[in-house]
Amino acid sequence: EAQVTQNPRYLITVTGKKLTVTCSQNMNHEYMSWYRQDPGLGLRQIYYSMNVEVTDKGDVPEGYKVSRKEKRNFPLILESPSPNQTSLYFCASSSHASGSTDTQYFGPGTRLTVL
Amino acid sequence: GEDVEQSLFLSVREGDSSVINCTYTDSSSTYLYWYKQEPGAGLQLLTYIFSNMDMKQDQRLTVLLNKKDKHLSLRIADTQTGDSAIYFCAERGGKLIFGQGTELSVKP
């Protein structure tokens, strides 16, 4: 089954404690991205990756890091989380960055609370 | 920068039609999309329309595009309780930009 998986699904942590949210896709997609969803703001892109070892900032990259060492994985790293990073995070992948019907497949989301 | 705007809430009765509206600012948009997010789940692509089209129909879904006014709408005919979800409009010019999402509530 084609899917994007994220772990953990729920996480409560404290300010400053480094954390990683994993994302994995089994569709051999080149393009992967991370979004955060906040009430009234919709989805905002944090980082994206066009292919292995190619990453770039999205609209709200501050406080986040990513890596793309393998095609299937695209972890999101928060080196020193702060309460304003409390949000719902989605990983997505597609076969190309642009293109009409290249469906972006979304993971189920990770709800992060930073105390 | 580019922006996509939607109203936040819509409430309809079961069996009625729902119309969710969206406006965008990017005049170079090539494709426009509607995504559905059910509670506790990620986004699923519902339908899309190319910018040189005015209308697209897919079963109960009708997408209307007014490119001059940069206005996109999604009409759901015979709305069911299972249609209750958050609906996101998104446009692709250079990159994919999402609206805030419209929460559709369907009352029996």
Per-residue pLDDT tens digits for A64-76: 999 999 999 999 9
Give dist(CA A59, CA B43) in Å, integer. Answer: 19
Q: Find the radius of gyration of the CA atoms of chain B.
A: 13
Q: Residue A100: list chain B partners with CB under 8 A.
A: 30-31, 48, 50
The pLDDT of residue B95 is: 74
The pLDDT of residue B96 is: 81
CB atoms within 10 A of CB B12: 17
Q: Residue A9: list chain B partners with CB under 8 A.
A: none
- The set of residues, in sequence order, having a beta carbon less than 8 Å from that of A68 and lying 6+ positions away, is A32, A49, A51, A52, A53, A54, A55, A74
Per the prediction, chain B carries an average pLDDT of 92
Give dist(CA A56, CA A77) in Å, integer. Answer: 14
Q: Are B65 and B72 in contact, with CB atoms under 8 Å apart? A: yes
The pLDDT of residue B63 is: 97
Per-residue pLDDT tens digits for B58-77: 999 999 999 999 999 999 99
Q: Are A91 and A76 in contact, with CB atoms under 8 Å apart? A: yes
- Decide if pLDDT at B97 tops 90: no
Task: Report yes or no: B30 at the A interface, CB cutoff 8 Å.
Answer: yes
Task: Report yes or no: B92 at the A interface, CB cutoff 8 Å.
Answer: yes
Q: How far is B9 from chain A (nearest CA, A)?
A: 10
- Cβ of A45 and B95 within 8 Å? yes
- Decide if pLDDT at A15 tops 60: yes
The pLDDT of residue A98 is: 53
